[in-house]
Structure 1
């Protein structure tokens, strides 16, 4: 898994490439927490366009970041979900609490 982060218009954009499973969730969690803590940014776009697989630990890591951001008064949205990952999100119920958009551009217009 490769995680790329950038700040655009005061929003932290996190792009994940690869699998988000139990082997990498600690890295994912630590990277997001460090970026948010160091910058104070509370608006996050999580781009999963290149995520090919996610397991329950990946779902848990995303949910944990959502809760942290929500507690801080910010928002997290997800963009570019692939069909295989979308099915897991549907089963987990994440779509009920986390907004999703097709692209980063779409997400920026709604933040």
Structure 2
């Protein structure tokens, strides 16, 4: 599986690098897709110290994102972005495979 199937925006890379710099035991942001949420699937974000042997590793500007093989199936072609606006700060995934999503921004259906 190509690591180019998911991209990382410049804003997301900057934020991930800043977050992991504050925690010596963590070196990457893990993004996964889980069943549930109000639209069928939801994104989960965690900090992680080491990639698993089968993780897809995406790097940009000193930031690393880890995605497991099952999650990448639902995320192919997506961009991970970081948004900072009047509503708050959050990581957002622009997923071309999602046919519906909900107001929370972390739940989608395919």
Common fold, TM-score beyond 0.5?
Answer: no
More helix as a share of residues: 1
TM-score (norm 1): 0.29
Larger Rg: 2
TM-score, L = length of structure 2: 0.29
